[in-house]
């Protein structure tokens, strides 16, 4: 890394650097970018787990996971689940299903999912 690149990266914010890292990480998988997900259409997307919470929905325990690929983020909800083995912060998750909008968030409800290796390289 040359001096020019060091100065350039020092001027960027942490969020910009993280977004670039994620875009580079998932570009080779050729899946739909999260920022381009169309609702009511079956898509396959992937991203890094940024947040995991337990929230009851209609009295049923639900695990909510926010994934991000640098172009955007989506919420993945697994109804009736308190924990899913293998899914952890910083891990990679590919989901396939139909997205919908809920309070300005793109949401997948009980999608098919695949755990991806930590490094996409």
* One pLDDT digit (tens) per residue for the chain, 121 residues: 566 666 565 667 888 888 888 888 888 888 999 999 999 999 999 999 999 999 888 889 999 999 999 999 999 999 999 899 999 999 999 999 999 999 999 999 999 999 998 654 4
Q: Which structure tokens are listed for 88?
A: 């952890």
Q: How far is CA 118 from CA 4, 50, 61, 89, 115, in A?
A: 30, 13, 27, 11, 9
Domain boundaries, the chain: 3-116
CA distance 59 to 18: 36
Q: Residue 6's pLDDT is what?
A: 62
- Span 3-116: which CATH code? 2.40.50.140
- Whose structure tokens read 């997900």? 37
pTM for this model (two decimals): 0.82
């Amino acid at each position: 890394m040359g001096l020019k690149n060091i100065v350039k990266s020092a001027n960027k914010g942490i969020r910009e650097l993280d977004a670039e890292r994620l875009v580079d990480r998932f570009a080779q998988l050729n899946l739909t970018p999260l920022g381009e997900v169309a609702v009511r259409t079956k898509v396959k997307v992937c991203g890094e787990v940024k947040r995991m919470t337990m929230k009851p929905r209609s009295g049923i325990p639900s695990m909510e996971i926010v994934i991000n690929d640098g172009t955007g983020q989506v919420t993945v909800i697994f109804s009736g689940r308190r924990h899913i083995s293998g899914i952890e912060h910083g891990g990679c998750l590919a989901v396939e299903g139909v997205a919908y909008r809920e309070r300005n968030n793109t949401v997948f409800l009980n999608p098919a999912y695949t755990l991806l290796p930590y490094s996409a390289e």
